[in-house]
Amino acid sequence: MRLIDAAKLIAQLKRYTWNMDADDAGYATAIHDLLQDIDSQDTVQPTVNPWISVKERLPEKRVRVLCKCRAGIYEVLRWTGNSWHHDYRHNYMSGFVTHWMPLPEPPEKGGDEDG
């Protein structure tokens, strides 16, 4: 699938129909129908992979992030500048983590949370 800027396409098609002569009525009708079809389509949001390779960049020091480690392990760790640290005093070598991503925002207070 190829994403397009529908608003830009609609503006271009409208400019095209405004410049048509009466002899171009069939084309104008077809373009009008096309504009309606474009407007009726669902909006597709591109998906962005939130995982960042440690080869690309590292997180800020001492900020908790979700890490994908070798052997399919996922951990919440902190980067210290030369190694990864767990909150339980565990220390991981820098080659252990392959990717990381920021933690999501915590849920808002209220609702069904415990405390």
State the helix-helix crossing angle for 25-40 and 6-18, rounded to 10 degrees.
Answer: 160
For residue 26, the surrounding DSSP H or E stretch is: helix 25-40
Closest CA to 58 of 67, 48, 45, 70: 67
- The pLDDT profile of the chain, 115 residues, written as one tens digit per residue, is 566 777 777 777 777 666 666 666 777 777 777 777 777 777 767 677 889 999 999 999 989 999 998 888 898 999 988 888 887 666 666 678 999 999 988 888 765 655 5
Locate the domains of the chain by residue range: 6-40, 52-102
- Contact status, residue 103 vs residue 66, Cβ threshold 8 Å: yes
Indicate the pTM of the whole model: 0.53
